[in-house]
Amino acid sequence: MHDFIERITAYIHWALFLLLEVFSGLLLFKYNNYQGSIWFTQANTIAAYVHEWEAKALAYLRMPAENAELVQRNVLLQHETDSLRNLLAEALKDSSVTEKKQAEVLRDMKLIPAHIVDNSVRNRDNLLVINAGSNAGVEPEMGVVSGTGVVGIVSAVTPHYSLVISILNSHSSISCRLRRTDYFGYLKWKGGNTLRAYMEDVPRHAQIKVGDIVETSGFSNVFPAGIFLGKVAKIKNSSDGLAYELEILLGTDMSNLRHVNVISNQNKEELDSLRLR
Amino acid sequence: MIIPILKRITWALLLLAVQVLILNHVHPWGYGAPLLCTLVVITLPMGTSRSAALLWGFCIGLIADIFAGTAGISSAALTFTALVQPPILAFMAPRDSDEELHPSFSTMGRWNYFQFLAVLLLLHHIVYFALEGFSYFHFTDIVVSMLVSYISSLMLIVLVEHVRNPQK
């Protein structure tokens, strides 16, 4: 009996090894479906806090250069306000029309500003963490944009942070269209170069030119229509030969992003319920 | 008993901090970053219980994963490395060595320890990048990434080990 127990304990590490590997495997696969537990991602509070602290430290180091830039910008803007004030004084006589139009476009949209706390670009499934969470009104499935175009879609939120599936993620698929001709397709990233993505399912009879602008289609109601995605760089045949596959040069360089905005579409629920009918 | 464990935990946290705050942002020519955390598992002394070694590997890997957003990859790879470290150490340690040998340049000899590092790191990188590359589209990218990361990790770790344990 003693001998038996000794023999078992001599092999117990193999059982432990299997257990730990199975657990890692579960994490790996669950995470790849990216709806998995928030606790094992960078968006868990401790990890996000460390990354935020790190981002702040880095931002502090860059301050001198940014300050110089801001001063320049300030002078420029002062000039601009001055000239605009003059123009405005002239235009005020008839401004009610433009104001109304702008209010109409922005009525359903709310922009929530956020900083990027953590960002990756070298994996196959890249994710970002931003410092706005459910307390700021962010919800899963909301779109995230920067000044240069689409960044990604919110996947999970905690009170102060959100996990965003970057467009540089093999699971990301964004409904898009060509601005000039209105043909639509899906934007996918296939790994490798962080500035190249592919627009799939473009019909063969579509007329496409290199340099055509690709923008969001607005079908998915995650993003409003017309947000810049990139430009057509190459036109290729899809693997089955039935459609075109366009290589897109993305407008947003994901590797040096800092500030983003989350788009909150207040009509989304209404639209979704309509679709279910 | 408790002092060496606390020392090791401090050492592990230090390496994890360097990994998370600095190395995860370093990508030589856009390829894989050096994996420094492996060093904690590599330097586990001879005679560490095998289960304890596995738990060390898994916990360090899990923390590295949470901060890098690679859930499961580091923990699986480091657990594997912790499984193969004791037999490889027993095989490569000098015959007349201490029963609780702490692997380093001074205890194992320069060339011997370098070989030990090279073998364990290679195994670790193969597992790590095989998992990362699961259904990856660019096979050559993964291989190049692995080699770049392997060479940079090896150089970095040799450097760290020289600083930590200068040869007489």
Per-residue pLDDT of chain B (168 residues; tens, 9 = 90+): 788 889 889 989 999 988 888 887 777 666 778 889 899 999 998 888 888 999 999 999 999 888 887 778 899 999 999 999 999 998 888 877 777 888 888 888 888 899 999 999 999 999 988 887 764 556 777 788 888 889 999 999 998 888 887 654
**Which pLDDT score, from 0 to 100, does residue A140 have?**
87
The alpha-carbon gap from A254 to the nearest alpha carbon of chain B, in Å, equals: 14
Q: Which residues of A touch B67 (CB under 8 A)?
A: 42, 47, 50-51
Give the residue from chain B lying closest to A55, CA to CA: B21
Q: Spell out which residues of chain A touch residue B33, defining contact as CB-CB under 8 Å.
A: 122
Closest CA to B51 of A9, A24, A6: A9
**Are A26 and A93 in a shared domain?**
no
Higher pLDDT, A159 or A239: A159
Please state, in angstroms and rounded to a whole number, the distance separating the CA atoms of residues A121 and A119: 7
A16 φ, ψ (degrees, to nearest 5): -60, -40
- A72 and A152 housed in the same domain: yes
Q: Determine which of B74, B137, B148 to mutate to test the interface with A (most A C-beta atoms within 10 Å).
A: B137
Q: Residue B134: its pLDDT value, please?
A: 62
Residues in chain A with CB shorter than 8 Å from the CB of B137 are: 124, 190-192
Any idea which fold B2-164 has?
Arp2/3 complex 21 kDa subunit ARPC3 (1.10.1760)
Q: What's the pTM? A: 0.64
- Supply the pLDDT for residue A93: 60
What per-residue confidence (pLDDT) applies to A181?
A: 85
Mutate to test the interface with B, among A13, A24, A162 (most CBs of B within 10 A): A24
- From B127's Cα to the closest Cα of chain A, the distance in A is 12
Give φ, ψ of A43 to 5 degrees: -85, -5
- Express each pLDDT in A58-116 by its tens digit: 777 777 777 777 777 777 777 777 778 877 777 666 545 545 544 454 456 778 888 88
Judge whether A185 and A200 are in contact, CB under 8 Å: yes
User: What's the rounded Cα separation, in Å, for the pair A64 and A212?
Assistant: 39
Report how far residue B20's alpha carbon sits from residue B3's, in angstroms, rounded to the nearest whole number.
Answer: 26
Record: contact B66-A40, CB cut-off 8 A: yes
Name residues 42-81 of chain A within 8 A of B (Cβ).
42, 44, 47, 50-51, 54
Burial of B85 (0-12, 13-18, 19+ CB in 10 A): buried
Q: Which of B117, B95, B96 is nearest to B105 (CA)?
A: B117
Interface test with B, best of A22, A28, A123, A196 (most B CBs within 10 A): A28
pLDDT, tens digit, 9 for 90 and up, residues B23-43:
877 776 667 788 898 999 999
pLDDT the model gives residue B41 = 92
Show residues of chain A in contact with B69, CB under 8 Å.
41-42, 118, 120, 123, 127
Which tens digits make up the pLDDT trace of A1-44? 678 777 777 788 888 899 998 888 888 776 655 445 555 666 67
Tally of domains within chain A: 2
Task: Compare CB distances from A28 to B49, B55, B71 and report the shortest one's residue.
Answer: B71
**Interface membership of A198 toward B (CB under 8 Å):** no
Contact A191 B141 (CB under 8 A): yes
A41 and A12 in a common domain: no
Quick one: average pLDDT of A160-177? 88
The fraction of chain A above a pLDDT of 70, given in percent, is 83
Instruction: Give how far A103 is from chain B: nearest CA, Å.
Output: 40
The residue in chain B having the minimum alpha-carbon distance to the alpha carbon of residue A25 is B72
Same domain, A14 and A97: no
| Residue A167 clears pLDDT 50, i.e. is over it | yes
Region of poorest pLDDT, from A207-216, A217-226, B22-31: B22-31
- Token readout for A80 is 């601009």
Check CB contact of A16 with chain B, cutoff 8 Å.
yes
A201 with A226, same domain: the answer is yes
In which domain, by residue range, is A22 found?
2-32
Q: With contact defined as beta carbons under 8 Å apart, do B55 and B114 qualify?
A: no
**Whether A9 and A58 share a structural domain:** no
| Average pLDDT over every residue of A113-131 | 83
Sign (positive or negative) of CA dihedral B23, B27, B28, B31: positive
Return the sign of the alpha-carbon dihedral for residues A255, A257, A263, A264.
positive
Q: Got the DSSP string for A170-190?
A: TT--EEEEETTT--EEEEE--
- The CATH number that applies at residue A41 is 2.40.10.350
What distance in Å separates residue B157's CA from the closest CA in chain A? 22
**The pLDDT value given to residue A61:** 78
Same domain, A196 and A207: yes
Regarding whether A157 and A102 lie in a shared domain, the answer is: yes
A24 and A102, same domain (yes or no): no
Whether the complex's predicted ipTM surpasses the cut of 0.95: no
A77/A71 Cα distance (integer angstroms): 10
CB contact (8 A) between residue B69 and residue A120: yes
Give B8→chain A minimum CA distance, Å. Answer: 21
Measured between CA atoms, the residue of chain A closest to residue B86 is A13
> Hunting for tokens 């195994």 — which residue is that?
B123
A134 and A204 housed in the same domain: yes
The answer to whether the Cβ–Cβ distance between B75 and A24 falls below 8 Å is yes
- A131 and A64 part of one domain: yes
Instruction: State how far residue B167 is from chain A, nearest Cα, in angstroms.
Output: 35
| Interface touch B67/A51, C-beta < 8 Å | yes
Hey, which residues 77-96 in chain A have their CB within 8 Å of chain B? none
Is the confidence at residue A208, as pLDDT, over 90? no
What integer is the mean pLDDT of A176-189?
Answer: 87
Q: What is the pLDDT of residue A106?
A: 46
| pLDDT averaged over every residue in chain A | 79
Residue-wise pLDDT tens digits, A244-253: 889 999 888 8
Residues in chain B within 8 Å Cβ distance of A123: 69-70, 132
Main-chain dihedrals φ then ψ at residue B106, nearest 5 degrees: -80, -30
